[in-house]
Amino acid sequence: MEGITSEAFILGCSAIGAGLAMIAGIGPGIGQGNAAARACEAVGRQPEAQGDITRTMLLGQAVAETTGIYGLVIAIILLFVRPLMTYYVGLGL
């Protein structure tokens, strides 16, 4: 790893980690689409229960979305706050 500074290595690893954290957005997207499809099927079978089905679906989607939001927060922290760089500079290396 000649020619690569320690700072560049840490920033590169932070960028890779941020990219991996954003993969967490795939799961909620698939899950929410699946939940919406099942809710549409349920409303088609029982139109009189539309309010209850919609309320339950939206609650489930809100819970599922938190996973994607946590991934986004971690990615933003890795890219802009740079916690590893702060630790590295604090060591005086």
The answer to the question of residue 20 being in a domain is yes
The pLDDT assigned to 40 comes to 93
pLDDT in tens, 4-56: 887 788 888 889 999 999 998 888 889 889 999 999 999 999 999 999 999 99
The answer to the question of residue 70 being in a domain is yes
The answer to the question of residue 57 being in a domain is yes
Bigger pLDDT: 17 or 84? 17
Give how many domains the chain has, as a whole number: 1
Q: Which two tokens stand for residue 18?
A: 């941020």
Nearest to 6 by CA among 64, 77, 75, 88: 88
Q: What's the whole-model pTM score?
A: 0.71
The answer to the question of residue 44 being in a domain is yes
The answer to the question of residue 54 being in a domain is yes
93: pLDDT strictly greater than 90: no
Residue 86: give its domain's CATH number.
1.20.20.10
d(CA 17, CA 20): 5
